[in-house]
């Protein structure tokens, strides 16, 4: 089903099942395809990944003391991208299979992963004896979260933030209108897919009611890929948002 301009919840059980199945396709030759899709265009995954790292990494202004929280981290590709400029990195994802791949790929006392739902991130972090973070990444997962939980996740991010924190969000958004894919069979992915593409206006309204009320400002935002060949969807576009307090 394709639903336009209406608020309709999607099923998390379906999304979790979808990513557990993706994890079975993991290929170390093109590791990021597991969460970046584009199954028919493996080169696009590599090009997009390079642009993403080149563009977003400087925005994070990482320092040796930075404590990085990576929400919906998948196989933890950002633990690799951030290089050595951090003191702690923690990735959370609700796909146990993706987390197992991440754990097998990284072996450092400064890097850890938690299998769990980001809607309850503060509880998960407390259970795992973690403190607060000053760099929070939320890349490629806003689309899998229903509206009420997205407000909750933003509030949870604020709860897990240090006084000075940079939050970077990357999301696929609707170019001109809100679009929900509900149990939609994707020819490209050979599976049912569930996702909500909000408009830029809707994203900003959510930030206004959460981050802006808690001292964060939107410092920058815009399309992720300038090159139109990397933006290969008709109705949606990848956008980044940089917030800071």
Ligand X SMILES: C[S@@+](CC[C@H](N)C(=O)[O-])C[C@H]1O[C@@H](n2cnc3c(N)ncnc32)[C@H](O)[C@@H]1O
Binding flag, residue 118, ligand X (CB under 6 A): yes
Binding flag, residue 35, ligand X (CB under 6 A): yes
Question: Taking a C-beta distance cutoff of 8 angstroms, is the pair 231, 223 a contact?
Answer: yes
3-class DSSP string for 149-181: HHHHHHHHHHHCEEEEEEEEEEEEEECCCCEEE
> Which residue's CB atom is positioned nearest to ligand X?
74
Q: Which stretch binds ligand X (CB under 6 A): 61-69, 72-80, 156-164, 181-189?
A: 72-80
Binding flag, residue 171, ligand X (CB under 6 A): no
189/212 with CB nearer ligand X: 189
Beta strands in 101-141 (DSSP E): 111-115, 133-139
Adjacent-strand bridge partners of 241: 169, 221
Round to whole Å and give the CA distance between 181 and 176: 16
Out of 33, 62, 69, 98, point to the residue binding ligand X (CB under 6 A).
Answer: 98
Q: Which stretch binds ligand X (CB under 6 A): 69-77, 79-87, 105-113, 205-213?
A: 69-77
Binding flag, residue 156, ligand X (CB under 6 A): no
> E strand or H helix at 102, and its extent?
helix 96-105
Between helices 96-105 and 12-23, what is the axis angle to 10°?
40
Binding flag, residue 140, ligand X (CB under 6 A): yes
- Contacting positions for ligand X (CB under 6 A): 12, 15, 19, 35, 72-74, 77, 93-95, 98, 117-119, 139-141, 144
């Amino acid at each position: 089903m394709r639903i336009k301009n209406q608020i309709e919840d999607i099923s998390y059980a379906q999304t979790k099942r979808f990513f557990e199945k993706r994890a079975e396709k993991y290929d170390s030759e093109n590791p990021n395809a597991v969460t970046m899709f584009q199954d028919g265009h493996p080169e696009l995954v590599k090009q997009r990944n390079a642009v993403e790292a080149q563009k977003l990494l400087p925005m994070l202004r990482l320092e040796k003391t930075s404590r990085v929280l990576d929400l919906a981290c998948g196989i933890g590709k950002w633990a690799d991208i951030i290089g050595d400029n951090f003191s702690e990195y923690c990735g959370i994802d609700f796909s146990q299979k993706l987390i197992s791949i991440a754990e097998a790929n990284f072996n450092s006392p400064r890097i850890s992963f938690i299998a769990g739902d980001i809607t309850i991130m503060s509880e998960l972090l407390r259970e795992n004896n973690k403190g607060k973070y000053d760099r929070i990444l939320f890349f490629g997962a806003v689309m899998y979260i229903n509206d009420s939980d997205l407000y909750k996740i933003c509030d949870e991010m604020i709860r897990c933030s240090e006084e000075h924190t940079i939050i970077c969000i990357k999301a696929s958004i609707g170019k001109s209108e809100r679009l929900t894919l509900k149990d939609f069979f994707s020819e490209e992915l050979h599976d049912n897919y569930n996702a909500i593409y909000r408009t830029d206006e809707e994203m900003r309204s959510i930030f206004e009611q959460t981050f802006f009320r808690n001292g964060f400002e939107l410092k920058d935002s815009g399309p992720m890929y300038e090159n139109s060949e990397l933006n290969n969807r008709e109705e949606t576009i990848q956008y980044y948002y940089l917030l800071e307090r």
